[in-house]
Chains A and B, each alone.
Chain A
Amino acid sequence: MRQKVRIHEKIVETLFLVCALVGVISVLAIIVFVFYKGLHPFFGEDPYSFTDFITGVRWAPSEGTYGIFYMIVASVLSTAGAIVIGVPIGLMTAVFMAELAPEGMVRILRPAVELLAGIPSVLYGAFGLGVLVPFIRKVSPLVQGQSMLAVILVLSIMILPTIISLSETSLRAVPQSYREASYGLGASKIQTVFKVTIPAAKSGILSATVLGIGRAIGETMAVMMIAGNPTAGLPQSIWSMVRLLTTNIAMEMSYASGRQQEMLFATGVVLFFFIMIVNGTLLFLTRKGEEEQK
């Protein structure tokens, strides 16, 4: 009887372990399949020059030209723009929620931020298409409203909830004694926030920023309709249309086949590369944060 129970327990434990390993297998499968398909066109017979791919500024599948440099530039610039606008606004909102706002107001603000995080990205795209693009069309020196500026604005809005909630958590984690010591030295509340609390919450805010970068660079559907997606050309200004790595994949994947499809996977590999940098940085920051706490 005892023996039987033990075997039973062992079987169940193995089942649990298998379920836990599904995550590991999935990550490996995603990497292997995407990389295999994406690196295929650069090897074997009739290879496409990797340098042409990574430095080209023209994407014309019908002519067999696949250059994604202008998309890399667009993705990086849009993400950078979103961080420049989104992080300060998000951080200040977090400061408001953690340090200044009365309890009742926080109780309204926090669900509001959660709701902002829960809005499907397609609806951010609808907002961009219905509000931002027509507005930009009016003020832009160019004829169209689809532009890098529209992309940057939508991405800034989309990273806000990530920045706000993580920064707020790390601001709240700063020990009360830090603030009291600062007040004791005669500093005002605002001085304490900028000179003591924010520096003390630095690593958390940095993690939030990196997570925001990851969200912005991987976002697809919200920016699909407002980017313009031209087939060639580096972005000249914030008014020019851009094609991002993500939108390139989503635009053509439904009908692509053969080499064109492989090139879309290659675009995915480049995107993956950026995501790995982001994930690595995040992991490094979390480790460092944990060590500091010890």
Chain B
Amino acid sequence: MTSRKKDKIQEILINLCAGLTIVILVGIIGFIFWRGFPGIDTDFLTRQWEERTTYVNVGEYVEYSESDELGRVPRYGVTLEVTEEGVAIAALDSSSSLTKGLDGAGRVYELQEQDILEEVDDYSVEDAFTQWQESGGENPDAFLKEVTDALNAGEGTSHRLKVVRPGGGIIPMAVTTLYMIGLCLIIAGPIGILASIYLVEYAKPGPLLNIIHFAIQNLAGIPSIIYGLFGSLFFVQICRMQYSILAGAMTVSILLLPVIITATEEALKAIPRGYRESSIGLGATKLQTIWHVVLPGAIPGILSAVLLSIGRIVGESAALLLTAGTVASIPGALVGSGASGATLTIKAYTLMKEENDLQTACAIGIILLIIIFVLQIASRWFSSRLLKHRGQ
């Protein structure tokens, strides 16, 4: 074989490999979008995950005007409609008494549009709906009239309604993810940034600096499942936090330390030595120099590190699975029994693993990919600002 032929083959091989990498990336993203896209609609983005059934006692308007509009119940200031799921609230006056009803525990429970009405006192709307559907589902207007008549009956008394708020949305997981991001940044952000300031500005070369760098390098190499094991033993069990967002946030914060420290160190080192020397020469103390000279210049780099960390938090799964749990509702506390919450990523995982629901998992995947993409673009923008600062 001539050397030119060999060259050509090797070049083709290189091009093929580069092409394959791109094909893989496009393939994965394409697959997630293709499988997940049919699962995305407004309900998916705006609803709670779990269906929620509540009994509500509601009073009526003191003054109201009659209306002949179909589905309208004037005394409650509400309009009903027949949907595929049942009899749902189509529109609600802002001052409707249905927004001031009390649940079984005596707390105010605000009804919302799209809530499904299942019972009015002893009259089961749900059964009537099923019967009507089984009998062919004809003449929906007459059926709706039947329901509104039940609501209009018994003037002057309060009604007890059974209402179901439909689920299937990702709101709780989105909120949990935001909580998680907030907590992790509050814990790991200051520690990481102050640690990098120490390492770059104060520490003198020697055993202490070596030990700290050695530790951080090792932290970066530990797989997240080990962090999960540690968190589930130390935070969940020994500190008695139970499966909670705080236990999860503490665990992920340790995992983030090397990410934040390495990136912030780079940003601090990028500030020219001369800046510090001139500031000290003008009589500023070391702390003043750091605060007024070094940090402002390093801000873009630090922000880029923070965005990088947010990406890690959003994508993290193994460590959170063992510490924050898989409950699909908004956590009501930081620690304890009601504090468990699944982030979007964890929910995508449990959907695949336990419910075999690849479509919804991929729909969540689309949201995750968009978040990661936006974060990376923003992070790159900040990094370029830092480079500009260095005059490169």
Cβ–Cβ contact A123 & B28, under 8 A: yes
Residue interface mask A89-109, B partner, CB < 8 A = 1: 111110111001100000001
A220 is an interface residue with CB less than 8 A from chain B = yes
From B225, B314, B345, contact of A268 by CB (8 A): B225
CB contact list, A12-38 vs B, under 8 A: 12-13, 15-17, 19-24, 26-30, 33-34, 37
A8 is an interface residue with CB less than 8 A from chain B = yes
Given the known interface contacts A26-B257, A126-B365, A218-B225, the answer about A20 and B234 at a Cβ–Cβ threshold of 8 Å is no
**CB of B234 to closest CB in A, whole Å:** 6
Which of A43-51, A113-121, A173-181 lies at the interface with chain B? A113-121
Cβ–Cβ contact B317 & A19, under 8 A: no
Cβ–Cβ contact A253 & B232, under 8 A: yes
B362 is an interface residue with CB less than 8 A from chain A = yes
From B3, B10, B195, B232, contact of A23 by CB (8 A): B195
Cβ–Cβ contact A191 & B215, under 8 A: no
Nearest to A211 among chain B residues (CB) is B221
In whole angstroms, how far apart are the Cα atoms of A95 and B199 in the complex? Answer: 35
In whole angstroms, how far apart are the Cα atoms of A8 and B286 in the complex? Answer: 11
A142 is an interface residue with CB less than 8 A from chain B = no
Given the known interface contacts A96-B17, A224-B353, the answer about A157 and B322 at a Cβ–Cβ threshold of 8 Å is no
In whole angstroms, how far apart are the Cα atoms of A185 and B382 in the complex? Answer: 44
Residue interface mask B215-255, A partner, CB < 8 A = 1: 11111011111111110111000000000000000000010
Cβ–Cβ contact B11 & A190, under 8 A: yes
In whole angstroms, how far apart are the Cα atoms of A210 and B372 in the complex? Answer: 26
**Which residues of B lie under 8 Å from residue A250 when comparing CB positions?**
225, 228, 318, 321-322
Which of B18-26, B116-124, B292-300 lies at the interface with chain A? B18-26
From A96, A190, A194, A278, contact of B221 by CB (8 A): A278
A148 is an interface residue with CB less than 8 A from chain B = no
From B27, B32, B191, contact of A22 by CB (8 A): B191
Cβ–Cβ contact B226 & A9, under 8 A: no
Cβ–Cβ contact A220 & B224, under 8 A: yes
In whole angstroms, how far apart are the Cα atoms of A276 and B32 in the complex? Answer: 35
B39 is an interface residue with CB less than 8 A from chain A = no
A141 is an interface residue with CB less than 8 A from chain B = no
**Which residues of B lie under 8 Å from residue A118 when comparing CB positions?**
311, 315, 372, 375-376
**CB of B205 to closest CB in A, whole Å:** 14
**CB of B233 to closest CB in A, whole Å:** 5
**CB of B362 to closest CB in A, whole Å:** 6
CB contact list, A185-218 vs B, under 8 A: 188-191, 193-194, 214, 217-218
Cβ–Cβ contact B287 & A8, under 8 A: yes
Nearest to A283 among chain B residues (CB) is B217
In whole angstroms, how far apart are the Cα atoms of A283 and B7 in the complex? Answer: 36
Cβ–Cβ contact A120 & B345, under 8 A: yes
A265 is an interface residue with CB less than 8 A from chain B = yes
CB contact list, A35-92 vs B, under 8 A: 37, 88-92
**Which residues of A lie under 8 Å from residue B217 when comparing CB positions?**
279, 282-283
Cβ–Cβ contact A126 & B32, under 8 A: yes
**CB of B224 to closest CB in A, whole Å:** 7
Given the known interface contacts A19-B198, A126-B348, the answer about A33 and B221 at a Cβ–Cβ threshold of 8 Å is no
From B21, B219, B287, contact of A113 by CB (8 A): B21
Cβ–Cβ contact A225 & B353, under 8 A: yes
**Which residues of A lie under 8 Å from residue B285 when comparing CB positions?**
5, 9
**Which residues of B lie under 8 Å from residue A24 when comparing CB positions?**
211-212, 215
B175 is an interface residue with CB less than 8 A from chain A = no
Cβ–Cβ contact A246 & B223, under 8 A: yes
**Which residues of A lie under 8 Å from residue B28 when comparing CB positions?**
116, 119, 123-124, 127, 157
Nearest to B225 among chain A residues (CB) is A220
Nearest to B16 among chain A residues (CB) is A92
Residue interface mask B287-321, A partner, CB < 8 A = 1: 10000000000000000000000010011111001
**Which residues of B lie under 8 Å from residue A91 when comparing CB positions?**
17
Given the known interface contacts A33-B233, A92-B14, A194-B10, the answer about A157 and B22 at a Cβ–Cβ threshold of 8 Å is no
**Which residues of A lie under 8 Å from residue B226 when comparing CB positions?**
30, 34, 218, 268, 271-272, 275
Cβ–Cβ contact A17 & B18, under 8 A: no
B102 is an interface residue with CB less than 8 A from chain A = no
23 A–B contacts, CB within 8 A, in A order:
A19-B190, A22-B257, A23-B215, A26-B257, A30-B222, A33-B233, A89-B17, A93-B18, A116-B21, A119-B29, A119-B315, A122-B345, A125-B352, A126-B35, A126-B348, A130-B35, A160-B24, A190-B11, A220-B224, A224-B349, A253-B232, A268-B226, A272-B226
Per CB-CB distance, the 4 closest pairs between chain A and chain B, nearest first, are A218-B223, A120-B315, A92-B17, A16-B198
